[in-house]
Structure 1
Amino acid sequence: MDTAREREEARLRAHPLSSWIDEYLDVLRVEGGLARNSLAAYRRDLTVWLRWGLARGWTGPDVLVEADLLDHLVFLREGKGAAESSVARALATLRGFVHHLVAEGELARDPAARLDAPKLKRYLPSVLSATEVDALLGAPQGDDWIAQRDRALLEVLYACGARISEVLALATRDLEPELASLRLTGKGDKTRVVPLGVRAREALRDWLDRGRPQVKGAIAREEVFVTRTAGPLGRTSAWAMVKRRALEAGIARPISPHTLRHSFASHLVENGADLRSVQELLGHASIRTTQLYTHLDGETVRRVHRRFHPRG
């Protein structure tokens, strides 16, 4: 028998807006060159919106009005407790989608035209101190293959300031013999070459030469980082590993793989690196994104002043 969940999913797939969502995502993929993770985020936002609309009795795209967008944003913020950044992203996704419907003649006017983006609070990401980084990178103890893999993954994340998706996408064929640098593929399939420090190089070499061959079937795989069944290590498992190793290192506050990327950039800026170089290393399209880390550096200065100045 069909469950209520299965019936709801069937209604979702049968709704006219569902096929329009598929078409819109195809346009973004082919013409916009959006990466897989970005497309997945767009699909999640649009599916949540459509599921919410089904409960309100939507019949098709032609019935959409401004309130159908605004009320959904209120639902996300107040009903789901979503962060302002998530609400802003959802609005951007909906705007793009309804603009596509207008361009294709499904809507006579754009119901998102007059909606303002929510005012976002300045978001300063969590950054680890150098001492905390040392503790985290040293957390995987032992000589078993899991410790070797986790050690290599953590070292590479911090040494390169890479996104977790970039590191998990690394294939053995992409590695140079000396491991002096890594070629990373970022958003929009843009590639960049990032130097690999001595400690990260040694940890990665140890994993490739001693740890990875212990995993049955891993030799036949392309992915650098694999699971115990030789499958590719996924984002969820990598996030869980970072959180677990952080607790082992005595870091109680919430962190994620992206915390190492933020820490990489912040530590470079704190030690005098110019923003253009940091931008290249991070793979940011705009220098404005990289400028966030000058605010982080300013926070460090203010924290030191408050702590050590007699009138701080």
Structure 2
Amino acid sequence: MNAPVVLPGGSLQLPALVTAADGRTRIRFLEFFAAEIRNANTRRAYARAAGDFLTWCESHGVGSLAAIVPMHVAAWIEELGREVAAPTVKQRLAAIRHLFDWLVVGQIVPHNPAASVRGPAHVVRRGRTPVLEASEAKALIESIDIAGDAGLRDRALIGLMVYSFARIGAALACRVEDVFVQNRRLWVRLHEKGGKRHEMPCHHQLEEYLQAYIDGCGLTDPRSPLFRTISRATKQLSETPLPQANAWAMVRRRAKAAGIDTAIGNHTFRATGITTYLKNGGTLENAAAMANHSSTRTTQLYDRRKDDITLAEVERVRL
């Protein structure tokens, strides 16, 4: 590997097969991540997949990008299937297909070796995201000490994900100006994947959490990040946006402190909010609109009402 190349949203290590190629190949490879992939999370995932695959190829005696054939891709996919779950394998295969499509169009390689390789079968009817009961989510939020900036921030962030069904990426992308008054109610503007802007009114509880956070922490600059890290020196908000990994660690820490054993993550609150909404008589169509899903099929993955039925039926086994 060479020294990392700085790209929008992070850096990228050039695999040896790319480093050994000519300048035109290196530029085309980098342009794929800089120009073709706009989402930062997708860029990181695709860069990891490309790096792993090309490193694997080099270790198996492949001398250049043009020498890669479908058999290499298939063998790599077969190995991956023994180490990671099927959705991860499919994502990484998609990354390699997309990358080589880009290289073919740029006349770097003559064909796409991943085009004919089939990934593992994977049918999803039920989401795997851990979900909290409404009482657990309430207990977690109420357990947060809001005497300082950290507590106010954490309560507002978790509340935003629960009551607006926000993705963690959209929540962390919010600026102070994205919380605004309209029709005498507080609204929130979420910047979703694909450049979509999604606006919705705040639940009265979320309105309380956000207003207390903004006022209590003195967030006055409309263009500044809404959710930020906490300065170790002052224990107050810094000017640095809160990274997603830090938010995940905060969520796990808060859950443990609240006595919740479920191994939750950031996405748990989106699934918890949707499931609770549906349990209380909400419709799947409205849930999809609130979650900014293009299809109710996606929303159904977050609908965990059937878990209650399953548990009830299991208890029928009486000895």
Is the TM-score greater than 0.5? Answer: yes
Runs of 4+, deviation exceeding 6 Å: none
2:31 match: 23
**How far apart are residue 173 of structure 1 and its match?**
2.1
Count the aligned residue pairs: 296
Higher helix share: 1
- 1:258 partnered with 2:262: no
Within-5 A mapping of 1:151-300: 151-177=155-181, 180-212=186-218, 222-227=224-229, 228=231, 229-294=238-303, 296-300=304-308
Alignment check: 8 A CA contact 1:149 1:212 kept: no
Deviation for aligned residue 1:191: 1.0
The equivalent of 1:58 in structure 2 is 62
Deviation at 1:235, TM superposition (A): 0.8
- Shift of the alpha carbon at 1:108? 3.2
Structure 1 spans left out of the alignment, 5+ residues: none
Q: CA deviation at 1:5?
A: 8.3
Q: CA RMSD in A?
A: 2.7
- Unaligned stretches of 5+ in structure 2? 5-12, 232-237
Q: What is the one-letter code of the residue matched to 2:19?
A: A
1:171–1:6 Cα change, 3 Å: closer
| Structure 2 residue identity aligned to 1:233 | L
1:275-301 superposed Cα distances (whole Å, 9 cap, x missing partner): 22111111122332122245x222322
Which residue, 110, 113, 130 being the options, matches 2:112?
A: 110
SS of 1:193's equivalent in the other structure is strand
Is the alpha carbon distance of 1:11 and 1:262 closer, same or farther for their aligned partners in structure 2, counting shifts above 3 Å? closer
Letter paired with 1:225:
F
Alpha carbons 2:161, 2:270 under 8 Å: kept:
yes
Q: For residues 115 and 133 of structure 1, what CA distance do their matches in structure 2 show?
A: 43
Q: Secondary structure at the match of 1:125?
A: coil
Higher strand share: 2
- What CA distance in whole angstroms lies between the structure 2 residues aligned with 1:197 and 1:175? 13
* 8 Å contact from structure 2 (residues 177, 223) kept in 1: no
Structure 2 SS opposite 1:47: helix
Using the aligned pairs only, state the percent identity.
Answer: 27
**Counterpart position of 1:14:** 19
2:97 to 81, 95, 98: 95
The amino acid that maps onto 1:93 is: A
TM superposition shift of 1:65: 0.6
Mapped partners of 2:241, 2:112: distance in 1: 43
Letter in 1 for 2:314: R
Instruction: Encode CA deviations 1:218-259: one digit per residue, 9 max, x unaligned.
Output: 859610111223211111111110010010111123111101
Counterpart of 1:176 in 2: which secondary structure?
Answer: strand
Q: TM-score, normalised by structure 2?
A: 0.83
